[in-house]
Amino acid sequence: MTWLGKIIAVHSYKGGTGKTLLSLNLAATFVKQGKTVCLFDLDFRAPSLATLLNVTKGDYWLNDYLNGTCEIDKVLVDSTDRIHNGGKLFLGLANPATEAIRDMSAKDRKWEMRALGRLLDLRNSLLNARSLDYIIMDTSPGLQYSSINAIVTSDLVIVATTFDKSDVDGTKRMLRELYDLFEKKTEIVLNKVLDVPTSTRQESMQTRVKDSYHAPLLGVIPCFCDVLRAQGNVVFIEDKPEHPFTRILDGMAKEIDKM
C-alpha cells in the first residue's frame, strides 16, 4: 500500500534567506502536531543542521547513504526528545568535515545520477515502509546538483525568498527555468519582511506574489529580532510556543497538510 506522506524540498535562489530556520522549525511544527517527520540536510557544501542541533557523533552521514556505503536506517538520528509532546523527529545529517565537503563537491555526473536514484528510493524505504508523514529536505541555494536532485524527488518545493532585488529576479528565473520544467508544485515563503503585514496588506502581498512569481504564497515571515537573537541555538517554535513566528509556522504546516 502507498502511504500518503509527502517529500518537501526547501530551496532558495540566494543564501541567507532562512531555508534552514524554516526547514527545522517547519519539521518541529509538524512533530508538535503529532506527525512523524524526517529532516534531511542536503546542503553538502555548507552543512549546518549537525552544528545547530549539536549532533557531534555520526558513524554514518547522508553522504554515506548517497555514496551507497550504507542504508538510510544507519544515517537517521532519532531526535524525538528535542520536541516535547508530539510525534517523532528523525534527522539525516550532512557531514560537516572539510574533507567530506571537498569530496561531495568533486562528484561526477554518474555519481549524481546514482544519488538521484538513492533519493528517489526514500519514497519507498522511508515514506511507505516507515509510514512517515513528511520528509523535509533543506538544500543548498541556487542550481546545485544536490538541490536539483532534492527538487526532482519532492512533491512540494517551498521557496524561501526575500524582497532583495537580486533574490526576486533570481527566484523568478528559477521558477520559470527549473521548477516549471520539472512540473513541481511550488509555494513561496517571503522571509525577513520588514513591515509586519496587516490582514489587508497580506492580501495585497498575496496578489503581488502571485503576479510576480506566478506561484502561491504560503506565508509571510516578518523580520523578528528574537529569531535573529536566538542565533539558531534553539528550535524556536519549541522554545517560544506563544511567539508570532511559531503561530505563522503553525499556519503554514496546516496549509501544507491540506494540500
- Residues of this chain that interact with another protein (CB under 8 A) are 68, 109-110, 112-114, 116-117, 120, 145, 148-149, 151-152, 178, 181-183
Alpha-carbon distance of 11 to 81, in angstroms, equals: 27
To another protein, the closest distance from the beta carbon of 122 in angstroms equals 12
Alpha-carbon distance of 243 to 164, in angstroms, equals: 25
Query: For another protein, which is the closer residue by CB, 112 or 164?
Result: 112
Q: Would you give the distance in Å from CA 167 to the centre of its chain?
A: 18
Query: For another protein, which is the closer residue by CB, 114 or 201?
Result: 114
To another protein, the closest distance from the beta carbon of 148 in angstroms equals 4
Query: For another protein, which is the closer residue by CB, 116 or 220?
Result: 116
Alpha-carbon distance of 144 to 38, in angstroms, equals: 22
Query: Using the 8-state DSSP alphabet, how is residue 183 labeled?
Result: T
Query: For another protein, which is the closer residue by CB, 76 or 178?
Result: 178
Query: For another protein, which is the closer residue by CB, 110 or 165?
Result: 110
To another protein, the closest distance from the beta carbon of 113 in angstroms equals 4
Task: Specify the length of the chain in residues.
Answer: 259
Residue type, 68: G
To another protein, the closest distance from the beta carbon of 120 in angstroms equals 6
To another protein, the closest distance from the beta carbon of 127 in angstroms equals 13
CA neighbor of 249 nearest in space, from 24, 4, 93, 56: 24
Query: For another protein, which is the closer residue by CB, 163 or 182?
Result: 182
Contacts of 217 (CB under 8 A, 6+ apart): 187, 188, 189, 190, 205, 206, 209, 210
Helical H segments across 191-243, by residue range: 199-213, 225-230, 236-239
Cell digits of residue 149: 536532485
Query: Using the 8-state DSSP alphabet, how is residue 101 labeled?
Result: H
To another protein, the closest distance from the beta carbon of 2 in angstroms equals 12
